[in-house]
């Protein structure tokens, strides 16, 4: 349980404090009134013990209206509160009449309000210290973490999902005076305050920050309406999850979302779904890798509907139909499947059923199940149309290609730690079923690598790390009364994993309505690559270090240069993989040639270059290496 060492740190003790002097006098007059004794809400930690949500006291003011024993005093108090807290004098007077024993004047008062109310020295108003919530990481992970209400109860995100675990149980006590007339609280034995338990997440704050930063860049640079990202291990541990709404295009941007959109939003997956259809065809023995089919030069009729390819193709092998993402070819291959078998495979991948991640409003999605499986029905499903899925469902299903064929339930809670510091619950990977046979996993995995190396995801290529994945570009279903699709609105996506030969991370990046080219391979795939390279910088085991032919050994490990903002680092002598990642961390795009260690760079180290500029690297190579397609700066 070494992972959870930080959770045993001394917890924040929160005790209700009533201002001495006037509060003691009030307690005496009220003759042993009852008060609430606050307890501490549980804290939230990331997997490394970093505090993500904790408690801090907040200032609250309350009053005993009956202590204003004259009409003049009541009116003056009502006018003061109206001017500082809000409302009208009449509204405050009504509150005084309705609750003469106790009312809240201002909960969670800001510093300015606190100074104003304290300055009145009003005998009927007293100050309380209540438990509040603080998020040390600031905006990082806030949409996933969620929020609490004024009573410190979860109302969104993980704060709501785990509220029954995190929630404290306030106690009750009677206000008494000791022999020296000092006030103390005598707790009621049957209602003692009880702190909530802590929750340790699978989330990694460093990964979350990288994911959010690269998602922000992609959404802004592609002028998309918004976008989301999920990164997790092949067996379901969520490491990062985020959504960003472009405040210049989305009227809802900047406001807290009541739901976690990568978990709850539905969309048609488009061409990413072809990966699952390919697995079904191979699993049912309906295709061989040598099979070919004619793609009708880009336009084909299925029943009464025309289906198009983004580029015209003639004869395509089965692997090419996936690598080049031909709608027509994959739709024709799908006709070999019985409709019920295609439906069963789709269900086995987890589509059409909730992931049961634990957040509110999580949908099941919809899979078409027609009474008669027509040619068009199978063609549309094979292309990733006619069904609705969530991003979490897509990445969970795709993880089967990275973990040997299993469908695992994604999860974000790693452990529960009680107020004494004892771990009382741990969560482990849970396999739901095993939809893909191992030989099919191997075959499809090899094709997904080729999607990146020679297919629609060329812009995801990296010299630092090997990626496998599939692109998707799907028209958005109309949201008005008109049936069909928007002609010019798309969801662009890339779902993949890395390193390709030993997958450690599975993820999805998707952009809502990117401007310009909507292709997932040009918009979402480069963002996924950039995240992968930055993650490799903090976890070098993810890197692929080229082996020098001359020595047969790993390149010598050189210390990283000292970064200086706005200046190109000196990268000569570094292994190419580390050089790419280091330059990417500083905000530069990188173009490379060769493999091994960097022997030349342009601009030279120490040259002033603003963020977003391009650094060209030449590495020592034992044989000519084909140039990587020019990267798009995103």
What is the band of 357 on the pLDDT scale with cuts at 50, 70, 90? confident
Q: Do 126 and 112 form a contact (C-beta atoms < 8 A)?
A: no
- If you search the block for the tokens 């080049």, which residue do you land on? 324
CA 311 – CA 317 distance, rounded (Å): 16
Does residue 534 sit in the same domain as residue 462?
A: yes
41, pLDDT greater than 80: yes
Mean pLDDT of 407-421: 95
More confident: 8 or 329: 329
Least confident of 8-22, 84-98, 374-388: 8-22
Does residue 526 sit in the same domain as residue 562?
A: no
Is 515 part of a structural domain of the chain? Answer: yes
- Residues 169-219 pLDDT 10s: 877 766 554 555 444 556 666 567 788 999 999 999 989 999 999 999 999
Single pTM value for the model: 0.77
Please report, to the nearest 10 degrees, the dihedral formed by the alpha carbons of residues 397, 403, 405, 410 taken in order.
Answer: -40
What local confidence, expressed as pLDDT, does residue 169 receive?
Answer: 81
Q: Do 499 and 187 form a contact (C-beta atoms < 8 A)?
A: no
- Residues 226-271 pLDDT 10s: 999 999 999 999 999 999 998 755 545 445 555 789 999 999 999 9
Partnered with residue 433 across adjacent β-strands are 407
456, pLDDT greater than 50: yes
- Domain edge (last residue) among 509, 527, 542: 542
Domain that holds residue 590: 546-634
Is 303 part of a structural domain of the chain? Answer: yes
Indicate which CATH number applies to the domain containing 195.
3.90.1310.10
Does residue 176 sit in the same domain as residue 273?
A: no
Q: Do 132 and 108 form a contact (C-beta atoms < 8 A)?
A: yes
What local confidence, expressed as pLDDT, does residue 178 receive?
Answer: 55
Mean pLDDT for all residues in the chain = 84
Of the candidates 605, 560, 606, 554, which has an alpha carbon nearest to the alpha carbon of residue 585?
Answer: 560
Label residues 623-632 b or e (16+ Cβ within 10 Å = b): eeeeebeebe
- Domain edge (last residue) among 201, 223, 244: 201
CA atoms within 13 A on the CB side of 604: 0
Mean pLDDT of 449-466: 93
Neighbours of 72 (CB within 10 A): 9
Q: How many domains does the chain have?
A: 3
376, pLDDT greater than 60: yes
Q: Cis link prior to 499 (omega < 30° from 0)?
A: yes
Does residue 457 sit in the same domain as residue 308?
A: yes
Least confident of 314-328, 361-375, 419-433, 507-521: 361-375
- If you search the block for the tokens 């020295």, which residue do you land on? 121
Is 83 part of a structural domain of the chain? Answer: no
More confident: 310 or 173: 310
Is 74 part of a structural domain of the chain? Answer: no
504, pLDDT greater than 70: yes
CA 45 – CA 137 distance, rounded (Å): 11
Q: Do 398 and 275 form a contact (C-beta atoms < 8 A)?
A: yes
Indicate which CATH number applies to the domain containing 263.
3.40.710.10
Task: Please report which helix (H) or strand (E) contains residue 249, including its range.
Answer: none
378, pLDDT greater than 70: yes
Of all residues in the chain, the percent with pLDDT exceeding 90 is 56
- Domain edge (last residue) among 186, 201, 216: 201
Which range of 143-152, 185-194, 195-204, 577-586 scores highest in mean pLDDT? It is 195-204
CA atoms within 13 A on the CB side of 276: 32
User: SS3 letters for 133-148?
Assistant: EECCCCCCCHHHHCEE
What local confidence, expressed as pLDDT, does residue 173 receive?
Answer: 67
Does residue 238 sit in the same domain as residue 159?
A: no
- Residues 475-484 pLDDT 10s: 998 877 777 8
What local confidence, expressed as pLDDT, does residue 223 receive?
Answer: 93
Least confident of 367-381, 384-398, 534-548: 534-548
With residues binned 3-state (H G I as helix, E B as strand, rest as coil), the percentages for the chain, rounded to 5, are 30, 25, 45
575 CA to centre of own chain: 31
59 backbone dihedrals φ, ψ, rounded to 5°: -90, 130
The first and second tokens of residue 516, run together, are 């310009």
Does residue 435 sit in the same domain as residue 552?
A: no
Q: Do 601 and 571 form a contact (C-beta atoms < 8 A)?
A: yes
What is the band of 278 on the pLDDT scale with cuts at 50, 70, 90? very high
Least confident of 128-137, 406-415, 522-531: 128-137
99, pLDDT greater than 50: yes
What local confidence, expressed as pLDDT, does residue 247 receive?
Answer: 72
What is the band of 152 on the pLDDT scale with cuts at 50, 70, 90? confident
* C-alpha dist (Å) from residue 395 to 110, 219, 241, 398, 495: 43, 20, 12, 5, 7
Mean pLDDT of 345-367: 91
- If you search the block for the tokens 């991003």, which residue do you land on? 391
Does residue 108 sit in the same domain as residue 236?
A: no
* C-alpha dist (Å) from residue 187 to 35, 169, 174: 9, 13, 6
Q: Do 198 and 70 form a contact (C-beta atoms < 8 A)?
A: no
Least confident of 37-41, 130-134, 622-626: 622-626
346, pLDDT greater than 80: yes
CA 80 – CA 68 distance, rounded (Å): 14
CA 282 – CA 437 distance, rounded (Å): 10
Does residue 305 sit in the same domain as residue 253?
A: yes
Is 35 part of a structural domain of the chain? Answer: yes
CA 321 – CA 379 distance, rounded (Å): 14
Does residue 599 sit in the same domain as residue 625?
A: yes
Does residue 150 sit in the same domain as residue 267?
A: no
* C-alpha dist (Å) from residue 154 to 165, 258, 579: 11, 11, 44
Least confident of 484-493, 523-532, 551-560, 612-621: 551-560
Is 538 part of a structural domain of the chain? Answer: yes
Is 398 part of a structural domain of the chain? Answer: yes
Does residue 454 sit in the same domain as residue 559?
A: no
Does residue 438 sit in the same domain as residue 481?
A: yes
Mean pLDDT of 277-288: 97
CA atoms within 13 A on the CB side of 451: 32
- If you search the block for the tokens 């405050």, which residue do you land on? 92
What local confidence, expressed as pLDDT, does residue 12 receive?
Answer: 30
What local confidence, expressed as pLDDT, does residue 294 receive?
Answer: 97
What local confidence, expressed as pLDDT, does residue 328 receive?
Answer: 97
Strand positions, DSSP E, 143-253? 147-148, 154-156, 171-177, 183-187, 198-201, 226-232, 238-245
Is 21 part of a structural domain of the chain? Answer: yes
139, pLDDT greater than 90: no
């Amino acid at each position: 349980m070494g992972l959870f060492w930080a959770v045993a740190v001394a917890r924040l003790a929160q005790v209700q404090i009533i201002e001495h002097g006037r509060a003691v006098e009030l307690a005496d007059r009220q003759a042993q009134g009852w008060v609430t004794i606050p307890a501490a809400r549980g804290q939230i930690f990331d997997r490394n013990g970093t505090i993500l949500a904790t408690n801090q006291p907040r200032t609250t003011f309350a009053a005993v209206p009956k202590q204003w024993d004259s009409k003049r005093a009541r009116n003056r108090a009502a006018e003061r509160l109206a001017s500082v807290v809000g409302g009208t004098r009449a509204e405050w007077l009504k509150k005084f009449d309705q609750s003469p024993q106790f009312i809240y004047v201002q909960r969670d008062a800001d510093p300015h309000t606190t100074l104003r109310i304290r300055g009145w020295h009003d005998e009927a108003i007293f100050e309380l210290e209540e438990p509040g919530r603080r998020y040390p990481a600031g905006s990082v992970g806030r949409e996933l973490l969620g929020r609490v209400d004024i009573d410190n109860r979860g109302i969104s995100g993980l704060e709501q999902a785990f509220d029954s675990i995190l929630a404290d149980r306030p106690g009750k006590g009677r206000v008494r005076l000791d022999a020296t007339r000092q006030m103390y609280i005598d707790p009621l034995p049957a209602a003692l305050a009880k702190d909530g338990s802590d929750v340790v997440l699978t989330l990694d704050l460093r990964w979350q920050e990288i994911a959010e930063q690269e998602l922000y860049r992609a959404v802004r640079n592609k002028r998309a309406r918004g976008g989301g990202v999920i990164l997790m291990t092949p067996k379901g541990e969520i490491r990062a999850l985020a959504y960003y709404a472009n405040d210049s295009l989305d009227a809802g941007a900047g406001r807290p979302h009541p739901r976690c959109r990568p978990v709850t939003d539905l969309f048609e997956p488009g061409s990413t779904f072809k990966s699952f259809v390919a697995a079904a065809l191979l699993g049912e023995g309906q295709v061989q890798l040598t099979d070919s089919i004619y793609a009708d030069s880009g336009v084909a009729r299925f029943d009464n509907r025309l289906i198009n390819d983004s580029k015209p193709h003639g004869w395509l092998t089965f692997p090419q139909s996936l690598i080049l993402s031909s709608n027509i070819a994959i739709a024709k291959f799908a006709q070999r499947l019985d409709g019920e078998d295609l439906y069963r495979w789709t269900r086995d991948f987890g589509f059409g059923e909730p992931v049961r991640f634990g957040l509110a409003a999580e949908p099941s999605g919809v899979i078409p199940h027609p009474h008669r499986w027509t040619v068009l029905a199978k063609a549309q499903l094979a292309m990733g149309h006619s069904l609705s899925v969530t991003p979490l469902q897509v990445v969970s299903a795709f993880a089967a290609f990275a973990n040997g064929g299993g469908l695992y339930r994604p999860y974000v809670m790693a452990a529960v730690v009680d107020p004494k510091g004892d771990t009382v619950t741990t969560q482990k990977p849970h396999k739901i079923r095993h939809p893909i046979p191992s030989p099919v996993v191997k075959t499809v995995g090899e094709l997904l690598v080729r999607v990146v190396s020679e297919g629609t995801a060329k812009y995801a290529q990296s010299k630092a790390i090997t990626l496998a994945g599939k692109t998707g570009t799907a028209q958005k279903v109309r949201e008005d009364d008109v049936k069909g699709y928007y002609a010019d609105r798309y969801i662009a996506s890339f779902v993949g994993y890395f390193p390709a030969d030993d997958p450690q991370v599975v993820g999805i990046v998707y952009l809502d309505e990117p401007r310009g080219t909507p292709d997932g391979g040009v918009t979402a795939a480069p963002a996924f690559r950039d995240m992968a390279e930055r993650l490799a910088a903090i976890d070098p085991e993810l890197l692929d270090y080229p082996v020098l032919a001359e020595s047969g050994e790993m390149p010598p490990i050189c210390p990283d240069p000292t970064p200086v903002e706005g200046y190109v680092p000196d990268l000569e002598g570094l292994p190419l993989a580390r050089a790419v990642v280091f330059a990417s961390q500083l905000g530069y795009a990188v173009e490379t040639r060769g493999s091994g260690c960097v022997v030349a760079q342009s601009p030279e180290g120490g040259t002033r270059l603003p963020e977003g500029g391009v650094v060209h690297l030449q590495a020592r190579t034992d044989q000519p290496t084909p140039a990587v397609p020019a990267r798009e700066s995103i």
